[in-house]
């Protein structure tokens, strides 16, 4: 069959199918159109195949390619199931994913908490070390901030909630992304934050403000610090895939690693939102004694760790 005869035979069908595909959304099709779609799609695939085989002109092949591609996109579009699966995600997938990456999480925790604790201990012994990390002016700002309880409450809590989301979630997401730089980006951010937080904690404790600082951070620490560690772990995961792709190509190894890290990413974002709410609405308030607030802080640490260690065990994997 010559090309023009081929076109004359099928042109009406193509025009009609193009009209239907123009909508680009399966939900806006009528019932009959939806029933016809698989058949029409296969038919145009067949036509494209014939056009390629018979060496029909590039214009015709392009047109059929475009129709088949639009059909393919409509036909194979996947509905996102994330929201429907949210329950299962929190109960099973997130803690499982953390355990599946336990070595990354442990290394990340070491890189973050190592300098934090080291600096805290060092500064307790020699308070001047704090000024190696924080310049004196900034140190004064921190001291003032935690000087009296009232100064924190002056900010409207809702506004601080927004600030914590913007600031903390952004830092964590950036930690993941920077992991692509051979894992070094993530490690650097972890080291930097561990060092800085350790220095601030040491500075305030040695300045005699520990009774304001520690009860404040006790509430949200479990969520926020865990989230930072997980962000570092997810970043190292992709950096490691780039360095040591194993039996896969680097391209494929990166793809697999990023997909595998996704539950941790969704998870640490959720932890940080929780932390922001606590930090904004609970932490600045002194409704309870410091002892109660420490107890709550410790309880939350135990709960978070238990959740990540035991959540979703014994459940069938979705595969």
Partner 1 sequence: MLDTRIKVQTPEGIELALSPAGLLPRCLARLIDTALKAAVYLLLLLIANLLLGDIAPVFIYLGAFAIYWLYDLLFETRNNGRTPGKAVMGIRVVNSNGAPVTLSTSVIRNLLRVVDFLPLMYLLGAASTLLTHTFQRLGDIVAGTYVVYAHGDHEMLSRDNRMEKPLPLSLRAVDHQAIMLFDERISALSEERVNEIAGLLGGHISGTPAEIRAQLQAHARWLTGGSA
CA dihedral for 283, 289, 290, 292, sign (positive or negative): negative
The b/e string for 292-311 (b: 16+ C-beta within 10 A; e otherwise) is ebeebbeebbeebeebbeeb
The helix-helix angle for 184-206 and 170-178 (nearest 10°) equals 140
**Closest distance to partner 1 from the beta carbon of 81 (Å):** 9
Nearer to partner 1 by Cβ, of 7 and 274: the residue is: 7
CA dihedral for 97, 103, 105, 106, sign (positive or negative): positive
Told to check if 103 binds partner 1 by CB under 8 A, we report: no
Q: Which helix (H) or strand (E) holds 164?
A: helix 157-164
Told to check if 174 binds partner 1 by CB under 8 A, we report: yes
Nearer to partner 1 by Cβ, of 217 and 238: the residue is: 238
Q: Which of 52, 248, 299, 315 binds partner 1 (CB under 8 A)?
A: 52
Close Cβ partners of 237 (under 8 Å, ≥ 6 residues apart): 101, 104, 179, 257, 260, 261, 264
The b/e string for 124-161 (b: 16+ C-beta within 10 A; e otherwise) is eeeeebbeebbeeeebeebeebbeeeeebeeeebeebb
Nearer to partner 1 by Cβ, of 43 and 143: the residue is: 43
Told to check if 82 binds partner 1 by CB under 8 A, we report: yes
Alpha-carbon separation of residue 159 from 221, 281, 284 (angstroms): 20, 10, 13
Nearer to partner 1 by Cβ, of 282 and 301: the residue is: 282
Nearer to partner 1 by Cβ, of 19 and 52: the residue is: 52
Q: Which helix (H) or strand (E) holds 49?
A: helix 31-53
User: What's the rounded Cα separation, in Å, for the pair 308 and 319?
Assistant: 20
Nearer to partner 1 by Cβ, of 8 and 309: the residue is: 8
Told to check if 282 binds partner 1 by CB under 8 A, we report: no
> Are 142 and 242 a contacting pair, CB within 8 Å?
no
User: What's the rounded Cα separation, in Å, for the pair 313 and 311?
Assistant: 6
Q: Which of 254, 274, 277, 296 binds partner 1 (CB under 8 A)?
A: 254
Told to check if 73 binds partner 1 by CB under 8 A, we report: yes
User: What's the rounded Cα separation, in Å, for the pair 270 and 272?
Assistant: 5
Told to check if 78 binds partner 1 by CB under 8 A, we report: yes
Told to check if 86 binds partner 1 by CB under 8 A, we report: no
**Per-residue mark of binding to partner 1, 8-27 (x: CB under 8 A):** x--x------------x---
Residue with tokens 């595969």: 319
Nearer to partner 1 by Cβ, of 35 and 54: the residue is: 54
Told to check if 246 binds partner 1 by CB under 8 A, we report: no
**Which of these ranges, 27-35, 175-183, 288-296, 302-310, lies near partner 1 under the rule CB under 8 A?**
175-183
Q: Which of 91, 129, 145, 181 binds partner 1 (CB under 8 A)?
A: 181
Nearer to partner 1 by Cβ, of 24 and 246: the residue is: 24
Nearer to partner 1 by Cβ, of 118 and 158: the residue is: 158
**Which of these ranges, 101-109, 165-173, 191-199, 293-301, lies near partner 1 under the rule CB under 8 A?**
165-173
Half-sphere exposure at residue 238, Cβ-oriented, CA atoms within 13 angstroms: 24
Chain residues in the site for partner 1 (CB under 8 A): 1-8, 11, 24, 41-42, 45, 48-49, 52, 55-60, 62-63, 65-66, 68-69, 72-73, 76-78, 80, 82, 156, 158-159, 161-163, 165-166, 169-170, 173-174, 176-178, 180-181, 185, 238, 251, 254-255, 258-259, 262, 265
């Amino acid at each position: 069959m010559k090309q023009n005869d081929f076109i004359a035979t099928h042109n009406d069908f193509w025009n009609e199918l193009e009209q239907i595909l123009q909508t680009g959304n399966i939900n806006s099709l009528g019932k009959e159109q939806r029933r016809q779609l698989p058949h029409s799609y296969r038919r145009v695939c067949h036509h494209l195949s014939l056009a390629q085989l018979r060496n029909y002109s590039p214009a015709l092949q392009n047109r059929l390619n475009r129709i088949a591609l639009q059909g393919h996109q409509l036909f194979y579009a996947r509905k996102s199931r994330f929201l429907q699966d949210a329950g299962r995600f929190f109960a099973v997938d997130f803690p499982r994913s953390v355990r599946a990456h336990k070595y990354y999480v442990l290394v990340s925790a070491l890189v973050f908490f190592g300098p934090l604790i080291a600096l805290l201990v060092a500064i307790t012994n020699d308070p001047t070390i704090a000024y190696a990390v924080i310049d004196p002016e900034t140190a004064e700002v921190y001291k003032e901030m935690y000087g009296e309880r009232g100064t924190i409450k002056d900010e409207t809590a809702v506004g601080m909630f927004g600030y914590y989301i913007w600031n903390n979630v952004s830092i964590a997401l950036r930690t993941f992304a920077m992991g692509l730089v051979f894992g070094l980006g993530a490690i650097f951010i972890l080291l930097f934050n561990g060092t800085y937080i350790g220095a601030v904690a040491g500075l305030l404790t040695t300045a005699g403000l520990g009774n304001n600082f520690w009860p404040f951070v006790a509430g949200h620490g479990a969520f926020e610090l865990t989230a930072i560690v997980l962000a570092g772990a997810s970043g190292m995961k992709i950096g490691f895939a780039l360095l040591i792709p194993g039996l896969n190509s680097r391209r494929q190894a990166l793809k697999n690693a990023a997909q595998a890290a996704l539950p941790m990413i969704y998870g640490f974002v959720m932890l940080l939102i929780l932390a922001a709410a606590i930090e904004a609405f609970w932490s600045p308030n002194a409704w309870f004694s410091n002892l109660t607030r420490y107890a709550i802080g410790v309880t939350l640490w135990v709960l978070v760790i238990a959740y990540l260690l035991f959540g979703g065990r014994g459940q069938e994997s979705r595969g």
